Chain A
Amino acid sequence: MITIVLFIFAMVGFAYWWLWRQRVLEKPWAKVGPELDTREEIGRISSAAKTGLMFFLAVVTSVFALFISAYFLRMELPDWSPVMKPEVLWINTGLLVLGSGAIHWCSKAAASNNLRAVQVSLFATGLFTFTFIYGQLMAWGQLNDEGYYLNSNPANAFFYLFTGLHALHLLGGLWVWSRTTLRVLAGVELEEVRLSVELCRTYWHYLLGVWIVLFGMLLST
C-alpha cells in the first residue's frame, strides 16, 4: 500500500499548499467588499476543461497507484512466478513515444495556425496510437502462445490487467481524438479545436508516462 499512500500524501500536500496560497488563513469576517477576491492575482486561471482533466488524471493515477500497490503486495506471496516480457513491447514503447510526439507537434501547429501540419500530425497521432494498441494485442497473443494464461499465475494476470487497462484509457483518448479529427476535416476554424488538441496532448503525455512506469515495473520484477 506504500505506492498509493505516497500518491495520496503528494495529493494532500499539494492541496494544502494550494489552499494556503488561496489565503485560507485570513479572517473572512474582517473585511467586506468584492475587492478581496484576488483570484486573478494569486494564480493563473485556467479553463474549466483543463481543471477537469487534471482532476480526472488524478483519479486515473489513483487507480494505477492502487493496482501497483496490489501488484507489490501480491508479489510477496510464494506462488508468484515472473511473466515473460515479449520483445514487441520495446517497439510499442517507441510507437507510443512517437504518438505522444505527434500530438505535441499538433498542439504547436494549432497554436501557430498551421492547418496542414495539424492534419498531418493528427493523422500521425492516430496511426501511432492504433499501432501501439495493435502491438499490445500482439504481445498478448505471444504470451498466450507461450502458455502464460491469464489465470495460470498472478504475474500473468497483472500483466494482462495493466496493459489492458492502459490500452482502454488510450481508447478513451482516441475517442476524443477522433471527434477532433472529424471537426478538423469538416473544416472548422483551428481556434475551435485548439483546446481539444491541448487536452489530448496532456492526456497522451500522461499515458506515455504511465506506460513507462508500468513497463519499467514489469521489466524489473
Chain B
Amino acid sequence: MAHVALADRGQALSHPHSFITKYVWSQDHKVIAIQYGITAIAVGVVALVLSGIMRLQLGFPDTFSFIQPSEYYQFVTMHGMIMVIYLLTALFLGGFGNYLIPLMVGARDMVFPYLNMLSYWVYLLSVIILMSSFFVTGGPTGAGWTLYPPQAIMFGTPGVEWGIILMLLSLFVFIIAFTMGGLNYVTTVLQARTRGMTLMRMPLSVWGIFTATVLGLLAFPALLVSAIMMTLDRVLGTSFFMPAMVSMGEQTNYDGGSPVLFQHLFWFFGHPEVYIVALPAFGIVSDLLSTHARKNIFGYRMMVWAIVGIGGLSFVVWAHHMYVSGMNPYFGFFFATTTLIIAVPTAIKVYNWVLTLWRGNIHLNTPMLFAIGFIFTFIHGGLTGIFLGNVVVDLPLSDTYFVVAHFHMVMGVSPILVVFGAIYHWYPKITGKMFDATLGKAHFWLTFLGTYSIYLPMHYLGFLGVPRRYFAYEGIDFIPQSALDLNTAITISALFVAVVQIIFFYNMIWSLFKGKQAESNPWGATTLEWQTPDTPPIHGNWGPELPVVHRWAYDYSVPGAEEDFIPQNVPESEVDKAAS
C-alpha cells in the first residue's frame, strides 16, 4: 500500500550550493538553529559580564570608580532583559526548537523555511538595536528589566533620552521575529509529523517546546501592547500609563494614567514567559534523564498532561508578581491560590524525574550530570517559590535578596543547566564530533557548586532584610557587617563561575576541530534525530524515504530485547529478541 507521508506532501526542497545560501541566508532549520544559538550565547556573554560588574560593586563598594549608580542600574536592566528574552527565549525556541522539532518529528524542514530564515535575521536586528543603546547619548535604560512606568520614562532615570526608546523598539522587533519563528514551530509540529508519529509518541522535548511556543504566541502580544503604549507615552506624550506628576519642580504634561495597568499587561506576558523558558527545559531534561538512565520516562502521559496543564494555568497567576503594587487585596487571595495550584503539576514532573532515575541504569555522562543538577536547583527554586507565592510571606520578602535568590535558582541556574546539558547531549549530532568528557564534567561540578555558593547565601541576606536594587549598603543600621562580608564572598563566587565558563567555550571550540569523530548515536537514544543517515544531518535530514514511526520515544531496556534501546523507527519484526 503506497502511503504518501504527511510530512512530504507538497514539499520540494531545493538544495542550495553557494556558501552564502548554505550558511548565511540559509533556509535550513539546522543552520538557522545554530545561528540563533550562537547569537543568543554571544549576547548572553555580554549579560554575564554585566552581572560580573554589578557584583564587583556589591562585593567591593567604593573600589571601582567606573561603576556609578546610574551605570549600575543600566547594567542591572540590561543583564535581566538580555538573559530572559534575548538569551533564554531565543536559545530554547529559536535554537533548540529549530534544531530539534523537524528532526524529532521526522520532517525534512520547517513548513515555512523562508519565514524561518527571516525570523533569525529579524531577531539579529533586535539584538543589534538593543546593543546599540550602549553607544547612544545617555546609554541604555536603567529602569530595571520590568521597565515600570512612570520612572522608566521620567527624567532622572538613566537612559531616558534614547535607551528606553531603543529598548522598546528592540522588544517590538524581537516579538515580530518570535512570531515568525513561533508560527513555524507550531505548524511544523501539527502538520509535518511523519507517518506513525502521533502526538503521544512525540518526545517530551517537542511537547515542551511546542507548548512553550503556543504560550509565547499568546503572551508576547501583552509585551507588544505595553511596549507600544509606553512608546506613545514617551514619544508622543499620551497618558496611558503616566499619572499627573511633578518632576524636577515642574508639572509634567502627563495626566491620569495608570502605572498599575502597565504592570498588569507586563506580567500577563511576564508570567507565561517563565514557562516559555521552563517548559522546553522540562521537556529536554526529561529526555536527557530517560536516555542516560536507560529507562523509560516515568509517567509519560502525566508528563504531557502536566506540560499542557501548566501551560493553561500559567495565564492566571500573573498578579502574584504584583502583591506589593497596591492592587485590590482580594486579587492577592485569588492569585496566591492559583499559584499554589500550578505547583501541583510542576511537582508531579519533579517526582517523575526522580522516579525515572529510581533503579535506572544511570550513566553519569556530562549531559546527565547537568540534568541531575537541574533537579536539585529546580526543587530548590521551586520551594522558595511557594514561600513567595503566599501574600503574607511575600510582602516582607518582596524587596529583598530572597527574591533575587529564588528567581535566579528557578529561572537562571536551572534553565542554564539544561542548556548546557542539552548542548553536550546533542553536540555529537550537531557537529559530528565528541567533546572532551573530562572537561565537560569539570565544567559541570565547578558551575553547579559555584552557583550554589552564589545563591544559597543570598537567601540568608534576604531573611536579614537586605534590600535588592540598592547600589550600596554602607551606613544602613540593620545590615550587619557580616552581611557585607557575605556579599564579598558571593562576588568572588560569581566571578569564579563566570571565569569557569571558559572551560565550556574551550571544550566546544577545541572539540570542533580536534575532537574524535562521533558515532551517529553515541548515547544509544531512541528518538528520530539520532537515526539520521548522516551525522551531522544534511539538508533535508532524511534520505530518499522519511522515517516511519512504530513506537513511542522511550523504549529503553525493554525486557526481551537484545539492546537496551529500540529506536522509534524500528518495527516490531526487526527487534532482535534475546534468546530466552
Residues of A within 8 A of B (CB): 1, 4-5, 8, 11-12, 15-16, 19, 22-29, 32-34, 36-39, 45, 47-48, 51-52, 55-56, 58-59, 62-63, 66-67, 69-70, 73-74, 77-80, 150-151, 154, 157, 161
Also in contact, A23 and B221, with CB within 8 A (given A1-B268, A73-B264, A154-B240): no
- Rounded to whole angstroms, the CA-CA distance of A27 and B551 in the bound complex is 11
CB–CB A11/B218 < 8 A: yes
Tier of interface size on chain B = 35 or more
* A36 cross-chain contacts in B, Cβ below 8 A: 196, 198, 201
- B191-211 Cβ-contact flags toward A at 8 Å (1 or 0): 111011111110000000000
Which residues B392-414 have CB closer than 8 A to chain A?
none
User: Which A-B residue pairs are the 4 nearest by beta carbons?
Assistant: A79-B256, A34-B196, A28-B552, A28-B200
* B190 cross-chain contacts in A, Cβ below 8 A: 51
* A47 cross-chain contacts in B, Cβ below 8 A: 10, 191
- Which among A22, A28, A48, A73 is the interface contact of B187 at CB below 8 angstroms? A48
* A59 cross-chain contacts in B, Cβ below 8 A: 179, 183, 217-218, 221
Give min CB distance, A6 to chain B, whole Å: 11
CB–CB A70/B199 < 8 A: no
CB–CB A63/B200 < 8 A: no
* A24 cross-chain contacts in B, Cβ below 8 A: 199-200, 301, 304-305
CB–CB A29/B261 < 8 A: no
Give min CB distance, A196 to chain B, whole Å: 14
Q: A29-B554, A32-B572 are in contact. List 12 more A-B contacts (CB 8 A).
A: A15-B308, A16-B312, A29-B552, A32-B550, A36-B196, A45-B6, A55-B187, A66-B221, A70-B229, A150-B238, A151-B238, A154-B238
B120 close to chain A: CB less than 8 A: no
* A79 cross-chain contacts in B, Cβ below 8 A: 239, 255-256
* A51 cross-chain contacts in B, Cβ below 8 A: 186-187, 190-191
Give min CB distance, B28 to chain A, whole Å: 18
Give min CB distance, B426 to chain A, whole Å: 23
Also in contact, A73 and B218, with CB within 8 A (given A33-B571, A67-B225, A161-B232): no
Majority secondary structure, A binding face: helix
* B232 cross-chain contacts in A, Cβ below 8 A: 150, 157, 161
- 13 CB < 8 A contacts A-B: A12-B311, A15-B308, A16-B308, A24-B199, A28-B198, A36-B198, A55-B186, A62-B217, A70-B225, A77-B256, A77-B257, A151-B236, A157-B238
- Which among A15, A27, A55, A66 is the interface contact of B225 at CB below 8 angstroms? A66
CB–CB A62/B197 < 8 A: no
Also in contact, A73 and B261, with CB within 8 A (given A32-B572, A39-B6, A151-B237): yes
Give min CB distance, A161 to chain B, whole Å: 7
CB–CB A63/B238 < 8 A: no
Closest to B198 in A: A37
B549 close to chain A: CB less than 8 A: yes
Give min CB distance, B117 to chain A, whole Å: 15
- Rounded to whole angstroms, the CA-CA distance of A47 and B112 in the bound complex is 12
B454 close to chain A: CB less than 8 A: no
- Rounded to whole angstroms, the CA-CA distance of A80 and B198 in the bound complex is 53
* B370 cross-chain contacts in A, Cβ below 8 A: none
CB–CB B315/A32 < 8 A: no
CB–CB A62/B218 < 8 A: yes
